[in-house]
């Protein structure tokens, strides 16, 4: 069997295995969310201020909230299987439309964060390990330690204070300047400028983590026997570092990064709220307070599917990096 | 007159402050000529590996460094040349092979690209030429399907194949000196014989000077022209191989050589007819499971034990001999119920124990105990020695005071200081730890002791002490023993009967004396003929029975 057909089979198998996992997640989330007091009708009535009990009962009947929980779950599951995520009464829009709309900003934020955190983490870790016990190593290690220990929301607020308010380099919030009606490259540039602060805020912690991991991993690999072999073969130190050691040292970092993509979605809730970034995280935050359960469930469903897909991608990358791991 | 390649004069290597001695090696003088094989022999910690590293300029600097002396290679002092010159010499003029072919190769690069690097960094050749030359090299070292091996990764090859690939790499540029640091220690005995022959053949073709580091006098007898014996970083004796092996001068050399077990089996004693353990038609297969939800084909199956039948008689030592993967350790694990058998029967005292439930098995656990191979990994580092030994009896319901009293007794029986009781395992040497392991296994007063390669991780002088100890204990405590080993020399000295295993099957079983005198199965014949140094029979070589009478007096 060729490698590509092996990978195809592997992907298919993993996707099939993902289905029961997603179903389990949906069911658990459903009950967890229903444990919270109050529902969407309470919130709507509270906002309107003058709702009668009869009107509220009518609304509940309309939303299907008067049914017993197991029935509600069955109805929801049936709809999910048919790819219908329900209707957000709060936003007066189908859930699927809403989350697809908000998915792209989050995806953009996450991809740029991963690239920044993993890329620079690897680079800094590599540099620190190559210049072990010099001032460069010391600076990188101290930088990693400080960012590692700083809370996310505080970094976000400080970034806004320093770079937006005092220096005026970057906008304080939002994803683009809607009022300017940019098109083409101007719009891309506008979004890029808006992207800088949220990305840095979200990635700093992970950047620190990967820097530390990469440094430790490089040092561990330098001590392996094959490095002595490579030296005995008369290779240059450059070749040993960048070809022999680097590839082996990357393995644990890639694993870790794969596991943390899920956590990244969680982290994006805070960052999106701080920077008013119109993504899934902010949407989840809003809908939680509105008790918009359909929407929340939809967001959770999408996130869990995302995590499964990302893990799959990481496994494939891993099998390409390490020939000892076979996709099967 | 053969040209002198290497001349080491008055070499000192200094260790960092706080090490257990100031110099790793002291006052070492060494010469190597074209086409000559010089064996450096010594136990662990003798400085033999560091000597080799120094020649390659591969000392773990800056902590460990040459503090005095010179290493002259073709009128150039290697300790003084620039880094760039050193790099040029490595791999092209002087190359090296290592003990562990698994860890010495980069796991994520193909064999082909690892060979290719040597050419890329030393000579100017086109890619196609380099490729062609690499395939030729792999063919030269007798690897089947060189083109396929080029694309293979280290984990896809067997230990012997990996070592062949390492040799191909080391000889790629026809170096003048090959340094081999215990290149066959991690290999099976038949593979070892092939690799030694390969090195010899290659040496003839290229007229290479070989510096061969080993702890095994059998290997020395087979390949060396000259021998150098090291102890604690000092060369205690050197000379032509015949002289050193047959007529050693220094007491340390004498002790080392006399510790090498002889290949002629010891006198067999009469074996009782009473069976203490019966193993009948035992099978065990690994793998074959399906993935989650039963998707996909079943995974690769390995038949670790195929229809194994053997008996253990009261008071005897039964050797189980075989190479890695022959199923000998699986057999031990099945007997002691660390693993479940697939089918067959293991019977003690009329009870079939391999099908007993966990709870019912507990009452039988104390009857069979095991001594493990690796004395470093098999003792819990956070538990004191006394507790390690007393734990077993306490779990079996013996009261604490009595168990501790027994533990103290056992510590003195296995020849350790009474103070050992309150110490942690890391405070002991390998041989001492193996004594602790033996004491632990004896604490439950077993009737059957299974020793799984108990001496293969130990230096030869320690090895003979542990073998003596096991023998004494077996007699004192009236134990029956299953002794698993890959080393036929050890088997000859320890076992009354032996079973030879290959691919999960017992291919031959009988009295040790008979098997050594007249092996029946072709595999047994292969094994016996592959033992290194089989033609070398020193008068000093050890017979266990002789020294035992001495130790008792």
> Could you read off the pLDDT of B318-368 as tens digits, one per residue?
999 988 888 898 999 999 988 889 999 999 988 898 888 888 888 888 899
At residue B300, the pLDDT reads: 67
Closest CA–CA distance from residue A120 to any residue of chain B (Å): 23
pLDDT range class, residue B501, cuts 50, 70, 90: very high
Asked if residue B549 has pLDDT above 70, the reply is no
At residue B220, the pLDDT reads: 92
Q: ipTM value, please give it.
A: 0.80
d(Cα B164, Cα B179) in Å, to the nearest integer? 15
Residue whose structure tokens are 């194949």: B161
- Does the bond joining B96 to the residue before it have cis omega, within 30 degrees of 0? no
Task: Compute the count of residue pairs across chains A and B with CB atoms less than 8 Å apart.
Answer: 84
d(Cα B460, Cα B217) in Å, to the nearest integer? 10
> Could you read off the pLDDT of B465-481 as tens digits, one per residue?
899 899 888 888 889 99
Residue whose structure tokens are 């170096």: B175
Q: CB distance B105–A229 less than 8 Å?
A: yes
Closest CA–CA distance from residue B166 to any residue of chain A (Å): 9
Q: CB distance B291–A13 less than 8 Å?
A: yes
Asked if residue B398 has pLDDT above 60, the reply is yes
d(Cα A297, Cα A288) in Å, to the nearest integer? 10
At residue B498, the pLDDT reads: 92
At residue A1, the pLDDT reads: 53
CA atoms within 13 A on the CB side of B512: 27
Closest CB to B58: pick one of A231, A236, A328: A231
Asked if residue B397 has pLDDT above 90, the reply is no
Under 8 Å between Cβ of B205 and B240 = no
Asked if residue B290 has pLDDT above 60, the reply is no
Residues of A in contact with B118 (CB under 8 A): 233-234
Contacts of A197 (CB under 8 A, 6+ apart): A156, A159, A160, A163, A164, A170, A275
Asked if residue B291 has pLDDT above 80, the reply is no
Closest CA–CA distance from residue B127 to any residue of chain A (Å): 17
Distances (CA, A) of B200 to B95, B134, B183, B203, B215: 16, 20, 13, 5, 18
Domain A102-321 annotated CATH 1.10.3720.10: yes
What b-and-e string marks burial along A148-157, b requiring 16 or more CB atoms within 10 Å of the CB? eeeebeebbe
Distances (CA, A) of B86 to A75, A264, B330, B385: 75, 48, 47, 48
Domain B275-289+299-358+486-533+541-553 annotated CATH 1.10.645.10: no
Disruptive mutation site among A19, A220, A234, A236 for chain B (greatest number of B CBs within 10 Å): A234
> Could you read off the pLDDT of A294-323 as tens digits, one per residue?
888 888 888 888 888 888 888 888 888 888
Residues of B in contact with A15 (CB under 8 A): none
d(Cα B216, Cα B214) in Å, to the nearest integer? 6
**β-strands B23-33, B4-14: how paired?**
antiparallel
* Domain ranges across chain B: 4-259, 275-289+299-358+486-533+541-553
Asked if residue A14 has pLDDT above 80, the reply is yes
Closest CA–CA distance from residue A217 to any residue of chain B (Å): 15
Instruction: Indicate the class that CATH gives domain B4-259.
Output: alpha beta
Lowest mean pLDDT segment, chosen from A97-106, B245-254, B495-504, B516-525: A97-106
B 275-304 near A (Cβ less than 8 A): 291-293, 295-296, 299
Nearest-10 Cα torsion for B116, B120, B126, B128: 10
- The angle that helices B460-476 and B251-259 make with each other, rounded to 10 degrees, is 50
d(Cα B523, Cα B533) in Å, to the nearest integer? 19
Contacts of A254 (CB under 8 A, 6+ apart): A314, A317, A318, A321
Residues of B in contact with A235 (CB under 8 A): 87, 91, 117, 121
* Nearest residue in B to A10, CA atom: B296
* Nearest residue in A to B168, CA atom: A233
DSSP SS3 for B30: strand
* Domain ranges across chain A: 3-95, 102-321
Q: DSSP for A201-247, please give it.
A: HHHHHHHHHHHHHHHHHHHHHHTSHHHHHHHHTT--HHHIIIIIIHH
Closest CA–CA distance from residue B57 to any residue of chain A (Å): 9
Residues of A in contact with B182 (CB under 8 A): none
pTM: 0.80
d(Cα A135, Cα A122) in Å, to the nearest integer? 18
Helices (H), B105-181: 111-122, 127-140, 146-151, 159-170
At residue B449, the pLDDT reads: 94
At residue B294, the pLDDT reads: 47
Under 8 Å between Cβ of B192 and B159 = no
Lowest mean pLDDT segment, chosen from A272-281, B294-303, B438-447: B294-303
At residue B235, the pLDDT reads: 93
pLDDT range class, residue A52, cuts 50, 70, 90: confident
> Could you read off the pLDDT of A224-249 as tens digits, one per residue?
889 999 999 989 989 999 999 999 99
> Could you read off the pLDDT of B234-288 as tens digits, one per residue?
999 999 999 999 889 999 999 888 888 888 887 777 778 888 999 999 999 887 6
pLDDT range class, residue A327, cuts 50, 70, 90: low
Average pLDDT along chain B: 87
At residue B132, the pLDDT reads: 92
B153 touches chain A (CB under 8 A): yes
d(Cα B516, Cα B507) in Å, to the nearest integer? 14
Asked if residue B523 has pLDDT above 90, the reply is yes
pLDDT range class, residue A2, cuts 50, 70, 90: low
At residue B297, the pLDDT reads: 55
3-state secondary structure B258-317: HHCECCCCCCCCCCCCCEEEEEEEEEEEEECCCCHHHCCCCCCEEEEEEEEEEEEECCCE
pLDDT range class, residue B508, cuts 50, 70, 90: very high
B95 touches chain A (CB under 8 A): yes
């Amino acid at each position: 069997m060729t490698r590509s057909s092996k990978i195809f089979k592997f992907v298919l198998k993993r996707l099939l295995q993902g289905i029961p996992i997603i179903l389990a997640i949906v069911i658990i989330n459903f009950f967890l969310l229903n444990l919270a007091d109050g529902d969407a009708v309470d919130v709507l009535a509270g906002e309107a201020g003058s709702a009668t009990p009869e009107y509220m009962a009518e609304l509940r009947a309309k939303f299907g909230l008067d049914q017993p929980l197991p029935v509600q779950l069955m109805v929801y599951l049936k709809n999910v299987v048919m790819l219908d995520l329900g209707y957000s009464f709060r936003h007066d829009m189908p859930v699927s439309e809403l989350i697809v709309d908000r998915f792209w900003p989050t995806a953009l934020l996450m991809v740029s964060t991963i690239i920044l955190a993993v890329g620079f983490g690897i680079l800094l870790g590599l540099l620190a390990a190559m210049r072990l016990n010099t001032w460069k190593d010391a600076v990188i290690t101290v930088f990693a330690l400080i960012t590692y220990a700083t809370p996310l929301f505080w970094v976000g607020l400080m970034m806004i204070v320093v770079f937006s308010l005092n220096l005026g380099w970057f906008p304080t919030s939002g994803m683009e300047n809607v009022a300017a009606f940019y098109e083409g490259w101007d719009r891309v540039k506008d979004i890029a400028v808006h992207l800088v602060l949220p990305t840095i805020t979200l990635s700093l912690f992970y950047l620190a983590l990967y820097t530390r991991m990469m440094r430790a991993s490089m040092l561990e690999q330098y001590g392996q026997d094959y490095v002595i072999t490579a030296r005995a073969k008369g290779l240059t130190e450059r070749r040993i570092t960048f070809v022999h050691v680097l590839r082996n040292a990357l393995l644990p970092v890639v694993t870790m990064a794969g596991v943390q993509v899920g956590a990244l979605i969680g982290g994006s809730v805070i960052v999106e709220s701080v920077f008013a970034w119109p993504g899934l995280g902010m949407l989840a935050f809003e809908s939680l307070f509105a008790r918009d359960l359909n929407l929340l469930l939809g967001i959770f469903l999408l996130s869990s599917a995302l995590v499964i897909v990302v893990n799959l991608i990481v496994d494939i990358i891993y099998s390409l990096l390490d020939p000892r791991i076979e996709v099967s | 007159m053969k040209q002198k390649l290497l001349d080491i004069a008055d070499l000192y290597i200094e260790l960092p402050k706080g090490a257990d001695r100031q110099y790793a090696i002291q006052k070492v003088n060494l010469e190597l000529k074209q086409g000559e094989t010089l064996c450096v022999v010594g136990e662990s910690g003798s400085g033999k590996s560091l000597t080799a590293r120094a020649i390659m300029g591969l000392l773990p600097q800056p902590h460990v460094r040459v503090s005095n002396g010179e290493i002259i290679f073709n009128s150039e002092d290697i300790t003084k040349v620039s880094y760039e010159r050193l790099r040029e010499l490595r791999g092209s003029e002087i190359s090296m092979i290592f003990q562990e072919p698994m860890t010495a190769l980069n796991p994520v690069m193909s064999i082909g690209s690892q060979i290719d690097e040597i050419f890329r960094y030393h000579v100017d050749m086109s890619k196609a030429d380099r490729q062609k030359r690499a395939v030729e090299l792999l063919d030269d070292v007798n690897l089947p399907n060189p083109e396929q091996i080029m694309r293979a990764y280290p984990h896809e090859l067997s230990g012997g194949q990996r070592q062949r690939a390492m040799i191909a790499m080391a000889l790629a540029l026809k170096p003048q000196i090959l340094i081999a640091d215990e290149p066959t220690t991690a290999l099976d005995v038949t593979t070892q014989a092939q690799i030694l022959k390969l090195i010899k053949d290659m040496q003839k073709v290229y007229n290479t000077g070989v510096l061969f580091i080993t702890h095994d006098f059998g290997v020395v007898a087979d390949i060396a022209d000259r021998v150098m014996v090291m102890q604690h970083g000092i060369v205690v004796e050197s000379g032509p191989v015949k002289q050193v092996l047959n007529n050693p001068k220094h007491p340390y050399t004498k002790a080392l050589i006399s510790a090498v077990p002889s290949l002629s089996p010891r006198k067999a004693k009469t074996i009782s007819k009473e069976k203490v353990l019966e193993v009948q038609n035992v099978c065990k297969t690994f793998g074959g499971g399906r993935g989650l939800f039963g998707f996909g084909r079943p995974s690769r199956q390995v038949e670790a034990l195929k229809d194994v039948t053997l008996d253990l008689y009261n008071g005897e030592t039964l050797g189980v001999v075989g190479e890695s993967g022959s199923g000998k350790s699986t057999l031990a694990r099945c007997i002691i119920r660390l693993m479940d058998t697939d089918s067959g029967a293991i019977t003690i005292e009329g009870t079939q124990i391999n099908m007993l439930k966990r709870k019912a098995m507990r009452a039988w656990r104390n009857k069979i105990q095991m001594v493990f191979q690796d004395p470093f990994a098999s003792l819990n580092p956070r538990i004191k020695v006394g507790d390690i030994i007393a734990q077993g009896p306490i779990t079996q319901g013996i009261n604490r005071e009595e168990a501790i009293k027994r533990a103290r007794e056992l510590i003195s029986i296995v020849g350790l200081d009474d103070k050992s009781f309150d110490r942690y395992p890391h405070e002991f040497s390998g041989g001492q730890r193996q004594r602790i392991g033996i004491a632990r296994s004896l604490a439950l007063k077993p009737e059957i002791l299974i020793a799984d390669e108990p001496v293969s991780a130990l230096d030869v002088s320690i090895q003979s002490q542990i073998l003596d100890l096991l023998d004494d204990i077996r007699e004192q405590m009236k134990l029956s023993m299953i002794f698993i080993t890959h080393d036929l020399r050890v088997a000859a000295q320890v076992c009354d009967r032996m079973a030879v295993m290959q691919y999960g099957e017992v291919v031959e079983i009988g009295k040790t004396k008979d098997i050594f005198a007249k092996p029946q199965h072709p595999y047994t014949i292969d094994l016996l003929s592959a033992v290194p140094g089989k033609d070398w029979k020193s008068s000093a070589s050890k017979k266990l029975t002789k020294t035992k009478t001495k130790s008792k007096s």
